[in-house]
């Protein structure tokens, strides 16, 4: 995800910044939309690999749909889309809906896949995303299966509705965990929005609300659609009069806004997601599979947040005050108070954010104590893995002070990960312990795993970090370790015994299995709408 300086970044520019090694997780929020909803949900967590019936098939080929050979199988639709990021063509997608008979019951199965090519700080990355769901004749979800490859080992999830519960089994490597979601007949699957629009097209002024499963996160969220008026809309083949519909999806305080345009039959022909400057157009198969002369978009460079003001050296400053403004959301609900940063509302969707090189404990931070999930293993932070345990046991063996141990682990991870690889979205602690490869997310989860293996509570943080060569802030992940009576922020991509005043925290998480990857959701409310201004930079 990030920028790790002292490596190729924009690349020689970063290397020119001697000693600067911070990271910027530029596509942490690339994966949050859908085919309409799946594709735009599924571009921040990066690599999703084929599932079930498409397993082993090339997305670039045009494989025969083996499902059509099933008993009573009938192809309902087969749609192709072209995906643009930052005004450059990045890839294509395909969605097929099939009706077939399974165990004597007529069901509808949806297979959706997307293939993208982009760059992260100049390094090429190829992304494949697929998902499959099965619904009954009334549109009720029966089951789903996904494979999501964020690192060396895919995260395989399968869900099935049984007796008012959605039972989800998730496997990563050798670890399988199960969770349950409360499920009602009114809850719907990943593709319900598109299916509903096609089955019953919206009319100008109409409003709809529904609960549906979110791709990647496997959580139920509330979506509200509001139809505007028909308007001339630019498509790949030229302008066409389409109905403009705004969409807002809410879950756990996070809000995801997008716009889609449908024809009179309810087909979604265009979708826009402002956070990543992403647009998806309906296209023919020939157009979708055709090559492109567009420059491949760079996700990290394209999501840098500029900082206005006279900047000296934010990371070495004792304290820095920023003015933060969001175009739509309330930043006070997104940027938390912590030991290192304080938030003061200025009204009109603005806050003053005061960030210290070493924060002082306050009452709010004191209440934010570790939970059991901050101490126990999970599928991403396998603190019980034999390699993780062995590595943790090599560091500061004679030390007893938790702060000394935590800082020693930070330096150890910085040296251990000797290859800064930007092609991985999110590897687990066990994978990184073996590969010694990764970017900011890999540094963060490994440090968290080593800390837990040494009996220290830990969690990961997502936020923004100032990157001098890029002239602004990039999206980033680091670690917090509980030391005596407070959370100590540590960044193993820098190894300076803590974070500086150039780290802006958005959210933290233990990465426990039941929460999945929901820690990334708040980032969507920041991307594409944040403005930052430097107010004061105080040095010793």
The verdict on 372 and 437 lying in the same domain is yes
> pLDDT digit string (tens) for 357-401?
865 444 445 578 999 999 999 988 999 999 999 999 999 999 999
The verdict on 136 and 117 lying in the same domain is yes
If one counts the domains in the chain, the total is 2
> pLDDT digit string (tens) for 41-86?
444 443 222 222 222 233 333 334 444 444 458 999 999 999 988 7
Q: What value does the mean pLDDT take over residues 204-226?
A: 91
The verdict on 234 and 315 lying in the same domain is no
The verdict on 108 and 19 lying in the same domain is no
The verdict on 269 and 369 lying in the same domain is no
Rounded CA gap, 120 and 124, in Å? 7
The pLDDT score that the predictor gives to residue 252 is 75
Neighbouring C-beta atoms of residue 204, cutoff 10 Å = 11
The pLDDT score that the predictor gives to residue 438 is 84
> pLDDT digit string (tens) for 531-540?
999 999 999 8
* Percent share of the chain, pLDDT over 70: 82
Rounded CA gap, 157 and 155, in Å? 6
* Helix extents (H) in 235-373: 285-289, 299-302, 363-367
The count of residues in the chain is 540
pTM summary value = 0.76
The pLDDT score that the predictor gives to residue 269 is 97
Q: 214: which residues sit within 8 A by CB, 6+ positions away? A: 41, 190, 220, 221, 249, 251
Instruction: Please report whether residue 141 resides in a domain.
Output: yes
Instruction: Please report whether residue 5 resides in a domain.
Output: no
Task: Judge contact between 40 and 32, C-beta under 8 A.
Answer: yes
DSSP notation for 488-514: EEE-TTT-SSS--TTEEEEEEE---TT
The verdict on 57 and 149 lying in the same domain is yes
Hey, is 199 helix, strand or coil?
A: helix
Phi first, then psi, for residue 452 (nearest 5°) are -65, -35
Q: How confident is the model at residue 524 (pLDDT cuts 50, 70, 90)?
A: confident
The verdict on 192 and 236 lying in the same domain is yes
Hey, is 144 helix, strand or coil?
A: strand
Instruction: Please report whether residue 320 resides in a domain.
Output: yes
Instruction: Please report whether residue 163 resides in a domain.
Output: yes
CA torsion through residues 437, 438, 441, 447, sign: positive
Q: How confident is the model at residue 217 (pLDDT cuts 50, 70, 90)?
A: confident
Indicate if the pLDDT at residue 448 is higher than 80.
yes
The verdict on 465 and 360 lying in the same domain is yes
Tokens of 201: 């097209």
The verdict on 350 and 363 lying in the same domain is yes
Instruction: Please report whether residue 30 resides in a domain.
Output: no
Instruction: Please report whether residue 2 resides in a domain.
Output: no
Rounded CA gap, 420 and 497, in Å? 20
The verdict on 191 and 218 lying in the same domain is yes
CA torsion through residues 424, 425, 431, 433, sign: positive
* Helix extents (H) in 114-254: 192-199
Rounded CA gap, 54 and 60, in Å? 12
| Average pLDDT of the chain, as a whole number | 82
Domain boundary among 249, 264, 299: 299
The verdict on 368 and 426 lying in the same domain is yes
Domain boundary among 282, 299, 316: 299
- CATH number at 387 reads 3.10.620.30
Domain boundary among 299, 315, 337: 299
The verdict on 387 and 488 lying in the same domain is yes
Q: What value does the mean pLDDT take over residues 129-147?
A: 90
The pLDDT score that the predictor gives to residue 514 is 73
Instruction: Please report whether residue 76 resides in a domain.
Output: yes
HSE-CB at 148 with a 13 A cutoff on CA atoms is 26
Which residue range is the domain that position 388 belongs to? 12-25+304-538
Instruction: Please report whether residue 199 resides in a domain.
Output: yes
């Amino acid at each position: 995800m990030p920028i790790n300086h002292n490596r190729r970044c924009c690349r020689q520019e970063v290397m020119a910044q001697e000693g600067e090694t911070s990271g910027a997780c530029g596509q942490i929020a690339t994966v949050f939309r859908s085919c309409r909803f799946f594709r735009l949900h599924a571009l921040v967590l990066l690599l999703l690999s084929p599932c079930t019936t498409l397993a082993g098939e090339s997305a670039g080929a045009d494989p025969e749909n083996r499902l059509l050979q099933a008993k009573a199988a009938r192809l309902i639709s087969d749609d192709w889309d072209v995906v643009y990021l930052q005004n450059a063509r990045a890839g294509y997608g395909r969605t097929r809906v099939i009706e077939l008979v399974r165990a004597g019951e007529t069901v509808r199965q949806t297979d959706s896949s997307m293939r993208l090519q982009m760059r992260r700080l100049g390094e090429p990355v190829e992304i494949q995303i697929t998902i499959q769901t099965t619904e009954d004749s009334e549109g009720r979800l029966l089951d789903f299966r996904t494979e999501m490859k964020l690192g060396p080992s895919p995260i395989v999830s399968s869900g099935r509705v049984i007796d008012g519960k959605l039972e989800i089994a998730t496997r990563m490597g050798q670890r399988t965990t199960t969770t349950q979601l409360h499920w009602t007949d009114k809850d719907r699957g990943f593709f319900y929005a598109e299916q509903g629009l096609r089955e019953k097209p919206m009319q100008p002024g109409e409003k709809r609300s529904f609960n549906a499963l979110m791709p990647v996160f496997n959580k139920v969220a509330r979506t509200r659609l509001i139809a505007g008026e028909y308007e001339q809309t630019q498509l790949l083949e030229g302008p066409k009069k389409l109905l403009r519909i705004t969409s807002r999806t809410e879950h756990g305080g996070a809000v995801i806004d997008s716009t889609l345009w449908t024809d009179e039959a309810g087909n979604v022909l265009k979708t826009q997601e402002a956070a990543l400057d992403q647009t998806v157009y309906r296209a023919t198969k020939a157009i979708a599979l055709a090559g492109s002369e567009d420059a491949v978009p760079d996700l990290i460079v394209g999501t840098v947040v500029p900082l206005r003001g006279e900047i000296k050296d934010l990371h070495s400053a004792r304290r820095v005050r920023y003015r933060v403004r969001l175009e739509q959301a309330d930043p006070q609900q997104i940027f938390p108070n912590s030991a290192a940063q304080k938030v003061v509302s200025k009204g009109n969707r603005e806050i003053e954010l005061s960030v210290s090189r070493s924060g002082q404990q306050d009452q709010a931070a004191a209440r934010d104590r570790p939970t059991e999930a901050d101490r126990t293993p999970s599928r991403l932070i396998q603190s019980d893995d034999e390699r993780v345990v062995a590595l943790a046991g090599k560091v500061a063996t004679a030390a007893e002070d938790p702060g000394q141990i935590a800082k020693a682990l930070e330096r150890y991870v910085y040296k251990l990960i000797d290859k800064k690889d930007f092609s991985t979205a999110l590897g687990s602690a066990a994978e990184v312990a073996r590969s010694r490869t990764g970017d900011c997310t890999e540094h963060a989860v490994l440090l968290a795993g080593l800390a837990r293996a040494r009996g220290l509570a830990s969690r990961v943080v997502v936020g923004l970090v100032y990157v001098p060569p890029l002239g602004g802030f990039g999206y980033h992940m680091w670690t917090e370790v509980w030391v005596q009576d407070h959370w100590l922020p540590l960044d193993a991509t820098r190894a300076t015994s803590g974070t500086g005043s150039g780290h802006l925290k958005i959210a933290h998480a233990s990465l426990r299995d039941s929460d999945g990857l929901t820690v990334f959701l708040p980032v969507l409310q920041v991307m594409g709408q944040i403005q930052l201004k430097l107010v004061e930079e105080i040095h010793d």
